Chains A and B, each alone.
Chain A
């Protein structure tokens, strides 16, 4: 049997402070259905980066992760690790760690045996295995349970074991497939912090798949947002939130008020239901106007609410609205609004201390042109 040649086993994970570059070029996966599951994706994940693949279900993010892992074969394109093409390398020779949503711990093995598994497959010596297992279990803060079987542990503990097993052999990168999806909210948040800490300590490249935008923003150095088998936008969480390129991105990350403009001239002012609004050129996305046209996106926290037009400052974009409902969120209130003649649904976030709004109140909402974003619709 041919097997992976020797693997560097000296030194602890903590000493290896470098990651692997993962490069996807023209990556396509076609199952022969109406549209390819992954459609000509190119993406470079930097060494040591925490990259999140975010998107709705069926957008191709998990397929992309499985392609990187080698669990799926490419229809077209190449995947390389540190410049070496691994497109045709089977998964067990890619040397990548993988974390699954259902943990995938081996039920017939103890915790220690589970964590030792990748080392045994690599013919690491017994004492070395014992040392590394103890070390990595300490890293994930799960000591003293070595001889327990996985079924005796809670979901959070099981995922810690799976994490230990996935990093103990110092893989080139760690691939995480919605690893926190099965956990409740508090535990998820605790493990997010944990994963970030381990990413910092291990220093290797992490690729994390999730459909939860909050989780993505909380964890990632950069987010690749998937839609219909393609990457909609890649950037830091701040970039994706504050400078979305497309309406899909704006809608997927956070709440927004969306005013569709159609094929509008974005030179000076734009018109929406009879209102004339100013445009700040800096807020126009790179390629607006493609497809159906463009749209103005304003985040709820950037929208101000006034009683009448006379309270709106000069140069602000304004439109009349009615209060449909008020959500009290503690430190702030969210006004749910019906905007304009056709009753567009909107939101405004206002301080909890400022003014009382009743359902049915007629108001005017306004924002500065630099607070809006003009995206491709």
Chain B
């Protein structure tokens, strides 16, 4: 499109950021890639190994499943919460915002140790279940416990993009739908939900991709027998010093993430890095 032509000088302010990105991201990423395919000769052995070692694929599958569960849980909790935020007074909205941001502001370690105390054997959660006659609820050291803690951490990343999208939807559209013969439920599914899809995609992508790379929470709350991808990466770099194998695994995770982002952009509008939806309106064909 001719209207999108930009003069080269308007790129100048981007130079520092691009230089920084090249220095600290692209160069190391390139080196990691080169190392993952050299032995020192060109080889795909490291990649073959990922599929054949019997561990990596299991861990990747478990990680994807955990990330998906966290994403769905965060969406189910976050959507009504964000909706409520658009409907209350400015004062209440401020309070709700603070509540959702508190995990954001709390130190990662403090949060995880708090979860250990809550979920551990003999802790309040287990006691509560025992009180109602359900014994043997073990959350500490399990994927279930990791999922619960990760959902809490991820909630702001779901709520914030949803809030900005839901708040921008014109409430008159719901009245219009009611007037045109839709029940409140039908008006929600036919009008409100489609218009909120951009925010949903942004939140889902943020939470899912961040969850894929989660390290501290699974490391502290999970168990080595049920480790996730980030733990596997840490193990291969810090314990086994097998940088080539770790690099190959990192590349695979990166490709998975990129594929997801591209797919999300196609189905749900433009998702920017901070998760704000640029447009919720479909493009004209």
Q: Which residues of A does B touch, CB under 8 Å? A: 1, 3-4, 69-71, 90-92, 95-98, 100, 102, 104, 106-108, 117-118, 121-122, 147-149, 151-152, 165-166, 169, 175
B178 touches A91 (CB 8 A): yes
The reply to whether B285 and A104 form a contact with Cβ atoms under 8 Å apart is: no
- Some 23 contacts from A to B, beta carbons below 8 A apart, are A70-B178, A71-B178, A92-B178, A92-B179, A95-B181, A97-B180, A98-B179, A98-B180, A100-B176, A102-B172, A104-B175, A104-B176, A106-B176, A106-B177, A108-B195, A108-B280, A108-B282, A117-B180, A122-B181, A149-B282, A151-B281, A166-B179, A175-B179
A121 to B186, CA, bound (A): 9
Minimum C-beta distance from B174 to chain A (A): 9
Contacts of A100 in B (CB 8 A): 172, 175-176
Query: What residues of B have a CB within 8 angstroms of the CB of A92 in the complex?
Result: 178-183, 186-187
Q: Quote the shortest CB–CB distance from A97 to chain B (angstroms).
A: 7
Residue A106 contacts which of B173, B179, B185 (CB distance < 8 angstroms)? B173
Q: For the complex, give the distance between the alpha carbons of A100 and B179 in Å.
A: 11
Query: Once bound together, how far apart are the Cα atoms of A169 and B172, in whole Å?
Result: 20
Q: Tell me if B276 is interfacial: C-beta within 8 Å of chain A.
A: no
Check A98 against B176 for contact (C-beta < 8 Å): yes
- Nearest CB of A to B193, in Å: 10
CA distance A160 to B258 in the complex (A): 44
- The interface on chain B, measured as residues whose beta carbon lies within 8 A of the other chain's beta carbons, has a size of 24
Please tell me if the beta carbons of B285 and A118 are within 8 angstroms of each other in the complex. Answer: no
- Of A97, A117, A147, A151, the residue contacting B177 (CB under 8 A) is A117
| CB–CB B195/A1 < 8 A | no
CB distance from B105 to the nearest CB of A (A): 36
Q: Is B48 an interface residue (CB 8 A)?
A: no
Q: Residue on A with the closest CB to B179?
A: A98
Q: Which B residues between 266 and 285 are near A, CB-CB below 8 angstroms?
A: 280-282, 284-285
Residues of chain B having any CB pair with chain A under 8 Å: 170, 172-173, 175-183, 185-187, 190-191, 194-195, 280-282, 284-285
Chain B binding site: helix, strand, loop or mixed by DSSP? helix
A169 to B176, CA, bound (A): 14
Q: Find out whether the CB atom of B195 lies under 8 angstroms from the CB atom of A121.
A: no
Residue among B170, B187, B191, B282 making CB contact with A102, cutoff 8 Å: B170
Which residues of the partner chain B approach A118 to less than 8 Å between Cβ atoms?
A: 180-181
Residue pair B186, A91 in contact (C-beta under 8 Å): no
With A108-B281, A149-B281: A98-B175 Cβ-Cβ less than 8 Å: yes
- Report how far A70 CA is from B181 CA in the complex, Å: 12
Residues of B within 8 A of A96 (CB): 179
* Cβ-closest chain B residue relative to A3: B183
- How far does the Cβ of A2 sit from chain B's closest Cβ, in whole Å? 8
Give the residues in chain A near B172, CB-CB below 8 Å.
100, 102, 104
Are B179 and A91 closer than 8 Å at their CB atoms? Answer: yes
Task: Give the docked Cα–Cα distance between A71 and B172 (Å).
Answer: 11
CB distance from B203 to the nearest CB of A (A): 18
How far apart are the CA atoms of A147 and B282 in the complex, in Å?
Answer: 12
- Provide the residues of chain A in CB contact with B176, threshold 8 Å: 98, 100, 104, 106
Docked pose: A245 CA to B56 CA in angstroms: 88
Interchain CB contact under 8 A, A108 and B175: no
* Closest-CB distance, A7 to chain B (whole angstroms): 9
Q: Is the CB of A107 within 8 A of B179?
A: no
Residues of A within 8 A of B281 (CB): 107-108, 149, 151
Q: How far is the CA of A92 from the CA of B285 in the complex (A)?
A: 32
A-side contacts of B178, CB under 8 Å: 70-71, 90-92
A121 in contact with B180 (CB, 8 Å): yes
A3–B184 alpha-carbon span in the complex (Å) = 12
Residues of chain B within 8 A of A175, CB atoms compared: 179
Contact at A1–B185, with CB atoms within 8 Å? yes
Cβ–Cβ contact B173 & A4, under 8 A: no
- The CA-CA distance from A175 to B178 in the complex, in Å, is 13
A147 B285 Cβ-Cβ under 8 A: yes
What A residues does B181 contact at CB under 8 A?
4, 92, 95, 118, 121-122, 169
How far is it, in angstroms, between the C-alpha of A148 and the C-alpha of B284 when the chains are bound?
A: 7
Closest B-chain residue to A7, C-beta based?
A: B181
Q: Which residue of A lies closest to B171 (CB)?
A: A104
A71 and B175 contact, CB distance less than 8 A: yes
User: By CB atoms of chain A within 10 A, which of B170, B177, B178, B180 has the most?
Assistant: B180
Q: Which residues of A contact B191 (CB under 8 A)?
A: 106, 108
Assembled-state Cα–Cα distance A1/B180 (Å): 17
A-B pairs, top 9 by smallest CB distance, nearest first, are A121-B181, A104-B176, A98-B179, A118-B180, A91-B178, A104-B172, A108-B194, A92-B181, A107-B281
> Shortest distance in angstroms between B142's beta carbon and chain A's nearest beta carbon?
41
Nearest-CB residue, chain B, relative to A95: B181
- A102-B172, A107-B195 given; A169·B180 CB < 8 A: yes
The minimal Cβ–Cβ distance linking B123 to chain A, given in whole angstroms, is 44
Of listed A95, A96, A97, A121, residue having the most chain B CB within 10 A = A121
B250 to chain A, nearest CB (A): 38
Most buried by A among B183, B190, B194, B281: B183
Interface pair B185/A97, CB less than 8 Å apart: no
10 more contacts with CB within 8 A, not counting A92-B181, A96-B179, A106-B173, are A69-B175, A90-B183, A91-B178, A92-B180, A104-B172, A104-B176, A106-B177, A148-B284, A165-B180, A175-B179
